[in-house]
Amino acid sequence: MTNRREFIVQFGLATGALAASQAWAADLPMLTEADAQAAALGYKVDATKADVKKYPKYAAGQNCANCALFQGKAGDAAGGCPLFAGKQVSAKGWCSAWAKKG
């Protein structure tokens, strides 16, 4: 049985394969913590501000830039994420769907 996190990661990776080019993603607005989907996943623009009591699997050093779902290039300040369609996430951000890259 696949748990919810695995489903989100698998869905995100499949969706990511269909994502538009990096140039298109750069034109997207930034995701805010007030966004309903962001709030539901505990997204924080600054990973160090993640609610460790609510999300105990958070570990120091995790951020969007080193997440398997992040669609930005190394060194980008922001990039697309299939979980937040139409918006960019901060490379320094974090959410509960974080999954280790490769």
CATH code for position 8: 4.10.490.10
Q: What is the pTM of this model?
A: 0.75
What angle (nearest 5°) sits at the alpha carbon of residue 69, between those of residues 68 and 70? Answer: 95
Residue 96 belongs to some domain of the structure: no
Among residues 97, 65, 79, which one has the least CA distance to residue 20?
A: 79
Instruction: Report, as ranges of residue numbers, the positions in the chain whose pLDDT lies below 70.
Output: 1-2, 7, 10-26
Residue 100 belongs to some domain of the structure: no
Confidence at residue 13, expressed as pLDDT on a 0 to 100 scale: 62
- Interatomic CA distance for residues 49 and 53, integer angstroms: 11
Domain count along the chain: 1
Domain of residue 17: give its range: 4-90
